[in-house]
Amino acid sequence: MGSSTSHFSLVLETPPASPDEARRHFLAKLSVETDASDVMLDLQRGQHSFLLIDARSAQDFDECHIPGAISLPYRKITAESTAHFSKALPMVIYCWSPACNAATKAAARLSTLGFQVKEMLGGIEYWRREGGLVEGTRGEQAPLIR
């Protein structure tokens, strides 16, 4: 393939946001997202400033989950099923992987009920890829994704 100079940029077809717009966007994004590495370090350091919620099915949770996580399948999230949780404590929600949207659905339902939520990007797949410990009936033998 020969190299030719173009006067049109696909990257800049839509101009970049102003620095202030970009800052607002990225801060808003960070206010609703976290990653497996940050969650792991907080837990290793004894942080108890958030609840870790597994939005996958109860069976998937039983087979393999992050130690200390609470099973709350996203389809079962109601005012009644969450009545025992404090709304003062933020929740970090995870599911399977970047291809799974159960954590997103759970976060939407929980925020509708008045909870503060962040989604853990990458789910349990990236938790495990980064060396995070898991427990359950299958533990490390459980599949990375389903």
The whole-number average pLDDT for the span 7-35 is 96
Distance from C-alpha of 101 to C-alpha of 108, rounded to nearest angstrom: 11
Q: What is the mean pLDDT of the chain?
A: 94
Distance from C-alpha of 39 to C-alpha of 44, rounded to nearest angstrom: 9
Domains identified in the chain and CATH numbers: 33-139 (3.40.250.10)
| pLDDT for res 29 | 97
Percentage above 70 pLDDT, the chain: 98
| pLDDT for res 38 | 97
Bridge-based pairing of strands 70-71 and 33-35 is unpaired
* pLDDT tens, position by position, 92-128: 999 999 999 999 999 999 999 999 999 999 999 999 9
Distance from C-alpha of 2 to C-alpha of 76, rounded to nearest angstrom: 57
Given a cut of 80, whether residue 58 has pLDDT beyond it is yes
Say which range, 32-41, 105-114, 136-145, has the weakest mean pLDDT.
Answer: 136-145
Closest CA to 117 of 87, 78, 140: 87
The pTM score is 0.89
The whole-number average pLDDT for the span 6-16 is 91
